[in-house]
Amino acid sequence: MNTGSPMRKSLPWLLLGIVAVGILATRLHLSFDISAFFPATPDLQHRVLLQQFQSGPGSRLLVIGIGGADEEALADASEAMQIALSDHPAFTAVMNGEVAEDSAGPPEPIASYYLLMQDIDYGAEALSDAIQARLQDLALGGGATLLDLIARDPYLATLDIAQRLAPVEMHGDMWFAGDGSAVLMAETRATAVDIAGQTAAVEAVRDALASIDGHDALRLEMTGAGPFAVELQETIRAEAQKRSILATAALLLVLFAFYRKPAYLLLAAAPIGMGFLVGLAAVALLFSNVHGVTLAFGFTLMGVAIDYPLHLFSHAERSDGRTAIGRIWPTMRLGAISTIVAYIALAFSGSAGLAQLGVFTAVGIATAVLVTRTWVPHFVSGGRGDAAATSGVAPRSLRFLPAVGLAGIALVAINQVTIEGLWDDRLTSLSPVPAERVADDNRLRSAAGTPDMRYQLFLHAPSLDALLSRGEEVDALLTTAEQDGLLDAWQSLTQVLPQGATQAARQEAIPDRAVLRGNLDNALVGTPFRADAFDAFLEGAERARFLTPLTADDFRNTPLQSWRDSKLVLAGDTWVSLLSLRNPQAEALRQRIETWGDDIAMLDLHESSVALMRDYRNGALTTVAFAALIIIALLWQQRRQLSQVLWIALSVSAGLVMTIAVVVAVHSQLTVIHLVALLLVLGLGLDYSLFLGRTESADERAATNKAVLACAVSTTLAFGILAGSSIPVLKFLGLTVAAGSACSYLVALAGTRARM
Amino acid sequence: MRRLLFTATTLLLSANAAALELESILERAMVTPPARVGFQEERHNALFEEPLRLTGYLEYLEDGELRKVIETPFAEAFHVRSDHVEIERDGETQVLPIRKSRSLKVMLGGIEAILAGDTERIGKVFVHELSGTESDWSMRLTPRSKRVARQLTALTVTGGGDAVTGIRFDLGNGEWHQMELLPDPTEQ
């Protein structure tokens, strides 16, 4: 073997590798935001929904549970954590259910504007009723907080407003979950997708606990979108490491078993490694963040890229590497281009996550096949044998069709007959967060009584003023609906931010100080209250008469800012108000709302997310079907033999149908991830069919058989290891490709063994 | 050394004597459900020119179930069940889960422990201080929990012979409630 030439041939690839590493070192930013795999949708409702999911206030809520001690010790720990974390820059608010002594009053802007937030009767009779009710309150309760509140607001209007709007129940007592754990809710400054920010928040919580006396005995739990993302990062890293080591070991074993040349182990790594590096560098260049799942999909690339050197090694047993690659290159090239076409189609499927996968795999495969073509052959020493040009008859048949037909009929039946159907379109089916962690989250959150967010009203208008005006009309309609028993309560922006005209009318309704003083004096007659007990209320009312009307901007830097952000969204140039509903009679309320106009709709977040995924899946299917047509055209352009093209198309389709049958039997239903994995199976099936369907001599046939068997065994083994992962995305991918590789091989083999 | 030992022994003995005294007082004052007493109550706070005066009756219906019924100057009832409180006013009943109100749970638990003569439970919740004689005693209970202490500075129970005659609640900031217990008028 001429060693000078191979070294020279290596240089460009080595340089490319160095450039790729340079790009990765400077531009690789990892992200673990699963919503990157959600579709980019033009629909306004879905856009707002995804925006809320990614960065809405709910996504910034970090739920802390502390257990492992008696209630008193846990209460002490909860208080210490609340104090420590409240001053930490990672958090905007930290609550444990208690109302702090020094901030016992209602939060701004409610404290200043409460008299403009609802209609109040300042007449002598109404005031007298209110004073009497407060007297009865003081016959049972007491304490500085209640006294202060009554003095400032004898109507307790602030309490009504605060309770109606509370994202959590703030009744003044510490939150404890059903299992006895003390619960805190911390709102992080970072959004859930900001992993660095969330990691800092999680560490701050751990540090705060570590500074508590006797912390060793305490058990800390953290849930919420942020902590889950941090955990996911750690899990994906650990899973990817563990399973890649196992898969690599399995591949090495297969390689050695088939070829018994240690050098081949290194040579096989070259196309895979270069493909991975260059593919990842391309993603890093084209996208601002590289998703962790894209990295995990490095396995996908390995599954296809390993095939190229295996074909070369098998065929080089009877000739040197360069001659061998020359003979198989047209087939290999056709298989690679077809697979690349399928993955490029994925890049246009409409989600950033899948686009990354498409680019990564397409570039990776192109690199791997070129490395196999131009670099590896120089290091493969030749064997002896018949290197003659091909002749003979292609041993093809369609004997696999009846079995595959049955599997296809079964799938159609599953899709039509079962209630769930073939597809699982729940957003949660893709969620890598284990079900038990979601249950932990629900257990802790229930302590703070967070409302069910499934149903929301979606109101939109071209301007904020129009939105507020319309919002008040909707509040009035909802009041009637509440009286009719269609829902228990609701939260709307206009409950704290009425339109300017309404605020002005409420200011007009506040009597001047002298009139109000007179009404109050009458109301106090016959009660034990001091004459000056309600001076704070009189001062507040007088101030409210001359306040500048409250605007959306006045919520900034107040405890209600995140509440406003969850209710008011500017999407493009449309103002959107989201109203959350408590215990609605969903169907009856939906029918009522349909009569209220085109600018309002009732969103069922579960239904919406399912519809979103269904549209997404259908879009992806269309893209794949389009890619399949291009591939068939490509096959026709290369082979020009109808029977050959038809055989390849049928055997690949048959492999896919059998794979789907196996996956459905094991996972019950298919998700978008299965669909992506099926693209890889398509690539593998093409590769196997193209090689096994080649017209070649008996010697070459033996080499081809060995190569395809090695490919199928290695891929099935490597992806079988992945199928055992605890992360749904990896598990789905693993099983589909492992089953797909085996099925595609068996189908192609059955189709070629007929006449052998 | 001998003197030190003597002092320590004396201290231990006197601590034992106090515990025995509490037990004997509570044993005699213990109430077995169902039971009912009348009350007169004065509530003092910074908003009142003169105290709010209430009359009515208290019922100890069964373990974990207490009821305070106000008859004058208005009708209102406060019914504590094992896991929730019901407030009856103007013909309407409002329900508040006790599980969610830890301080309320501790306070009510303490009162029930006094009624039931449960010294162990009292000791868990309060630090006690006894004064007076067996015929005219006073027991000041201070919450052990800092959080409960923010809402209830002290609870002072007074009694004579085999009955509790009064309970005073000190809530801080000059706010206090004095409740005098009277024999049940229906039993007279």
Q: Which of B47, B89, B151 sits opposite A529 (nearest CB)?
A: B47
- Contact present, A331 and A694 (Cβ < 8 Å): yes
Q: Do B173 and A144 touch (CB under 8 A)?
A: yes
> Could you tell me which residues come within 8 angstroms of residue B110 by beta carbon, excluding any fewer than 6 positions away?
B121, B122, B125, B126, B141, B143, B155
Cβ contacts of B145 on chain A, cutoff 8 Å = 72, 75
A72 Cα to chain B: minimum distance (Å): 7
Higher pLDDT, B81 or A278: A278
Of the candidates A29, A55, A33, A38, the residue with the CA atom closest to the CA atom of residue A286: A29
Residue of B nearest to A446 (CA): B100
Q: Is A662 exposed, middle or buried (0-12, 13-18, 19+ CB in 10 A)?
A: middle
Which residues are B79's β-sheet partners? B67, B86
Measured between alpha carbons, how far is A580 from A708 in angstroms, rounded to an integer? 58
pLDDT, tens digit (0-9, with 9 covering 90-100), for B136-149: 889 999 988 777 78
A169 Cα to chain B: minimum distance (Å): 10
- Contact present, A656 and A685 (Cβ < 8 Å): yes
pLDDT of residue A168: 53
Cβ contacts of B47 on chain A, cutoff 8 Å = 138, 147, 150-151, 529-530, 533
Q: Do A75 and B145 touch (CB under 8 A)?
A: yes
DSSP conformational letter for A169: -
The stretch B73-82 carries a mean pLDDT of 87
pLDDT, tens digit (0-9, with 9 covering 90-100), for A193-210: 778 888 999 999 999 999
Measured between alpha carbons, how far is A178 from A171 in angstroms, rounded to an integer? 17
Q: Which domains does chain B have, with CATH numbers?
A: 20-182 (2.50.20.10)
Q: Which of A72, A132, A176 sits opposite B145 (nearest CB)?
A: A72
Cβ contacts of B78 on chain A, cutoff 8 Å = 140
Q: Which of B49, B76, B103 sits opposite A140 (nearest CB)?
A: B76
Residue of A nearest to B74 (CA): A136
Measured between alpha carbons, how far is A649 from A625 in angstroms, rounded to an integer? 13
> Dihedrals φ, ψ of A199, to 5°?
-65, -40
pLDDT at B3 over 60: no
Q: Do A530 and B100 touch (CB under 8 A)?
A: no
pLDDT at B69 over 90: yes
Q: Do B171 and A101 touch (CB under 8 A)?
A: no
B50 Cα to chain A: minimum distance (Å): 5
Q: Do A101 and B147 touch (CB under 8 A)?
A: no
Q: What parts of chain A have a pLDDT lower than 50?
A: 1-3, 101-103, 387-391, 393, 755-756
pTM over 0.90: no
What element of type H or E holds A155? none
pLDDT of residue A473: 96
Name which of A527, A532, A534 to mutate to probe chain B: the one with the most chain B Cβ atoms within 10 A of its Cβ. Answer: A527
Of the candidates A59, A119, A193, A89, the residue with the CA atom closest to the CA atom of residue A506: A119
Which residues of chain A have a Cβ shorter than 8 Å from any chain B Cβ? 71-72, 75-76, 79, 98, 101, 132, 135-136, 138-140, 142-144, 147, 150-151, 169, 171-174, 176, 528-531, 533
CB pairs under 8 A between A and B: 76
Instruction: Give the number of other Cβ atoms within 10 Å of residue A13's Cβ.
Output: 19
- Contact present, A184 and A74 (Cβ < 8 Å): no
- Contact present, B79 and B67 (Cβ < 8 Å): yes
Q: Do A528 and B52 touch (CB under 8 A)?
A: yes
pLDDT of residue A187: 86
Name which of A530, A534, A537 to mutate to probe chain B: the one with the most chain B Cβ atoms within 10 A of its Cβ. Answer: A530
Q: Do A530 and B101 touch (CB under 8 A)?
A: no
Instruction: Give the number of other Cβ atoms within 10 Å of residue A7's Cβ.
Output: 11
Q: Is A277 exposed, middle or buried (0-12, 13-18, 19+ CB in 10 A)?
A: buried
Residue of A nearest to B151 (CA): A143
Q: Do B45 and A98 touch (CB under 8 A)?
A: no
pLDDT of residue A456: 84
pLDDT-derived band at B13, boundaries 50, 70, 90 = very low
Q: Which of A72, A76, A140 sits opposite B87 (nearest CB)?
A: A140
- Contact present, A311 and A268 (Cβ < 8 Å): no
Q: Do B177 and A136 touch (CB under 8 A)?
A: no
pLDDT of residue B25: 81
pLDDT of residue A385: 52
Of the candidates A258, A359, A390, A374, the residue with the CA atom closest to the CA atom of residue A313: A258
What is the C-alpha end-to-end distance of chain B, expressed in Å? 61
pLDDT of residue A429: 66
Of the candidates B158, B63, B71, B157, the residue with the CA atom closest to the CA atom of residue B112: B63
Residue spans of the domains in chain A: they are 57-224+503-544
pLDDT of residue A417: 58
Which residues are B37's β-sheet partners? B58
- With b for 16 or more beta-carbon neighbours within 10 A and e for fewer, the A533-570 pattern comes to bbebbbebbeebbeeebbebebbeeebbbbbbbbbbbe
3-class DSSP state for residue A94?
A: strand
Of the candidates A40, A687, A44, the residue with the CA atom closest to the CA atom of residue A310: A687
Cβ contacts of B75 on chain A, cutoff 8 Å = none
Name which of A71, A78, A99, A136 to mutate to probe chain B: the one with the most chain B Cβ atoms within 10 A of its Cβ. Answer: A136
Q: Is A745 exposed, middle or buried (0-12, 13-18, 19+ CB in 10 A)?
A: buried
Q: Do B101 and A79 touch (CB under 8 A)?
A: no
Q: Do B171 and A142 touch (CB under 8 A)?
A: yes
Q: Cα A657 to chain center, whole Å? A: 28
Q: Do B102 and A135 touch (CB under 8 A)?
A: no
pLDDT at B161 over 60: yes
Instruction: Compute the half-sphere exposure of residue A103: CA atoms within 13 Å on the CB side of its CA.
Output: 10
pLDDT-derived band at B6, boundaries 50, 70, 90 = very low
pLDDT at B11 over 80: no
Q: Do B47 and A138 touch (CB under 8 A)?
A: yes
Cβ contacts of B101 on chain A, cutoff 8 Å = 171-173
Omega prior to A227 cis, within 30 of 0: no
DSSP string of B18-79? HHHHHHHHHHHH---SSEEEEEEEEEE-TTBSSPEEEEEEEEEEETTEEEEEEEESS-EEEE
Cβ contacts of A143 on chain B, cutoff 8 Å = 151, 171, 175
Place of tokens 């004064």: B131
Name which of A147, A168, A169 to mutate to probe chain B: the one with the most chain B Cβ atoms within 10 A of its Cβ. Answer: A147
What is the C-alpha end-to-end distance of chain A, expressed in Å? 36
Which pairing describes strands B65-72 and B76-80: parallel, antiparallel, or unpaired? antiparallel
3-class DSSP state for residue A570?
A: strand
- With b for 16 or more beta-carbon neighbours within 10 A and e for fewer, the B121-143 pattern comes to ebeebbebeeeeeeeebbbbbbb
Measured between alpha carbons, how far is A104 from A102 in angstroms, rounded to an integer? 6
